[in-house]
Structure 1
Amino acid sequence: MTQPDELPDPNGQVSDAYSGNWVDHYAPAWSRPYLRLSRADRPIGTWLLLLPCWWGLLLASGQSGRFGLYDLWIAVGCALGAWLMRGAGCTWNDITDRNFDGQVERTKSRPIPSGQVSVRGAVIWMGLQALISLGILLTFNTAAILMGFIAIIPVLVYPFAKRFTWWPQVFLGIAFNWGALLAWVAHTGRLEWPAVALYLAGISWTLFYDTIYAHQDKDDDAMIGVKSTARLFGARTRQWLSFFMILTLVMLSMAIIQAMGARNAIAMTVALGGAWVMGWHLAWQLRVLDIDNPDICLRLFRANRNTGLIPVLFLAVSLLL
């Protein structure tokens, strides 16, 4: 817990930012508090928001057998949108959690509780990011635009979930993996069952990595009454994570088989190899996990960028077959 006489880092750096990150070393001084608010100094969240988008786009392309210039724009647009909407979502999260963050050791250095950014300034910054994201969304087809507007609902709800449920990670998964549905619809123009299975795989994966992440704060969370799956599972975390790992791989495999099985068996087999290798990466995380070591929990959480890139690589290769 933070003591009243503790002061924030005079340089404004956030405690769990990457060492040597570009925000704290190269960004103009006036922009740093706002970029920190968007977690630009901690890019893992952008990756975790983006990768399901690329899963959805590549799997939809695998089903149709085509990947054109418009699909390339979808991939780029999703990357830009993930950076912007992750920033807007984190800003919203910090606005709603400003009274909690000042009481947690890991989050007390964030821009709002440390006094770097006012709530009014944060609201303006959030709106600017959301507005630019809207401009990108409007370049997609009508169905994808509708999916984008629906996505706002779980984003707004998520920061409050830890106050009324032990499963806030489910709400994070609903929000963070929506891009799998949106990118699929942007390619196909309609929502189909393989996309739903892929979405469920992403939610299960989020439960895996964000439970690990939540173990960093479980002591502070218990003192201030914040709920999480880390606190709920406790000593049984490893068993629950094993279940989420299996569920992720089953749903991902189902999505691949449903999407690609009738078109190209060889390409489907390669894509399924991505699910298999992803499973090995998740199993490695389980082997080295120590839920009482915050440094290991943070390292494993960040390792999920590579976990999510594995299916991207295999799906991309399968498009060449």
Structure 2
Amino acid sequence: MIFSTKDTGPVADAVKKHWVDTSLPSSLRPFARLARWERPIGWWLLLWPCWWSAALAAIAAGQGWPNLWHLALFFIGAVAMRGAGCTYNDLVDVDIDAQVERTRSRPIPAGQVSRLQAKVFLFLQAMVGLIVLLQFNTFSILLGIVSLLPVAIYPFMKRFTNWPQLFLGLAFSWGAFMGWAAEFGSLSWAPMFLYAGGICWTIGYDTIYAHQDKEDDALVGVKSTARLFGTRTKPALIVLYALATLLFATAAVLADAGPAAFIGILAGVIHLGWQIVALDIDDGDQCLRLFRSNGTYGWILFTGFVIDAFVTWL
């Protein structure tokens, strides 16, 4: 059977005692781990640019709140496409993952899921994403299809450039276009600046994440901004997060946002500053915690944008 698997235990850095490991049938757990369902931070990071964009579009359109149907679709699409992206990434990186301590227990290198099973699972998740995409207007559908290009090339970049996090940003920030396009059927400068800010933010948080693997990455020849920046990571994060903040603020100005949006952006600066001050690049567990805290940063910005849309509407 295609979906017959052997559960040999959770991935090394997975969330402990997650519902995946306590509630799912053992035959489905490897697929859930392949899609990273036990690590929701990934789809939150993919979702936030979508929701930020939808909230900015609501401000620009003079609506009291983002389109709730669009928010729900983005949520489902983010979970499905993040899972599909992780499955694709693991298929591409199986040889590398088998050599890295943190990733060798992933379902494919651990032998829990075969390559054929992973490909079938990838197809099913992509179909869910396609169904979601088809609910939007034609312009958004075409824009979503184009997003597959940065998604497809990202897993290979760690072999050729010290900036694979840049390519992750190109893929993960695409939602900055989607929320706006879903509302207006076109793009403008506001989502462009939001997208650029999202790229800087992504490079920053994924640099923190990549510090967990820098020793193994050096041994197997994998490149990253964590290895590139090294002991200069904190100054680099200051530049990246400052640029992200400036670009997000510019997007808000172009969307004709009011004070609440900028209060949210300022509160976000405090959170990002805390990440930089607290960071110990040689503490892998702390790097993971700080990386996950970017889900909170997403809520901060989104809350500011939503409050601003409501206040402006009043």
Picking from 270, 278, 286, the partner of 1:280 is 270
Picking from 165, 172, 175, the partner of 1:176 is 172
Quickly say closer, same or farther: Cα 1:198–1:68, change in 2 above 3 A: closer
AA aligned opposite 1:13 = P
CA RMSD of superposed structures (Å): 1.3
Superposed CA offset, 1:141-180 (max 9, x none)? 0110011100101111000010111000000001001011
The runs of at least 4 consecutive aligned structure 1 residues that moved more than 4 Å come to none
Q: What is the alpha-carbon distance in structure 1 between the residues aligned to residue 155 and residue 219 of structure 2?
A: 18
- Report deviation, 1:309: 1.0
Superposed CA offset, 1:51-89 (max 9, x none)? 1100000001101112579x2111000000000000000
Q: What is the alpha-carbon distance in structure 1 between the residues aligned to residue 273 and residue 8 of structure 2?
A: 39
Quickly say closer, same or farther: Cα 1:78–1:112, change in 2 above 3 A: same
Partner of 1:4: none
| 1:244-263 correspondence runs (5 A) | 244-261=240-257
Q: Does 1:142 align with 2:138?
A: yes
CA contact (8 A) 1:161 1:171 kept: yes
Q: What is the alpha-carbon distance in structure 1 between the residues aligned to residue 297 and residue 238 of structure 2?
A: 15
Partner of 1:220: 216
Stretch of structure 1 that moved more, 10-19 or 96-105: 10-19
Q: Does 1:200 align with 2:196?
A: yes
Question: Across the two proteins, how many residue pairs are aligned to each other?
Answer: 306
Partner of 2:14: 17
Q: Does 1:99 align with 2:95?
A: yes
Partner of 1:265: none
TM-score, structure 2 normalization: 0.96
Superposed CA offset, 1:183-224 (max 9, x none)? 110011101000000011111100110000000000000000
Q: What is the alpha-carbon distance in structure 2 between the residues aligned to residue 295 and residue 312 of structure 1?
A: 27
Stretch of structure 1 that moved more, 142-151 or 11-20: 11-20
Partner of 1:28: 25
AA aligned opposite 1:34 = F
| 1:1-321 correspondence runs (5 A) | 11-66=8-63, 71-261=67-257, 268-321=258-311
Q: Gapped runs of 5+ residues in structure 2?
A: 1-5
| Identity over aligned pairs, percent | 49
- Report deviation, 1:29: 1.3
Q: Gapped runs of 5+ residues in structure 1?
A: 1-8, 262-267
SS at match of 1:319: helix
- Report deviation, 1:11: 3.8
TM-score, structure 1 normalization: 0.93
CA contact (8 A) 1:12 1:111 kept: no
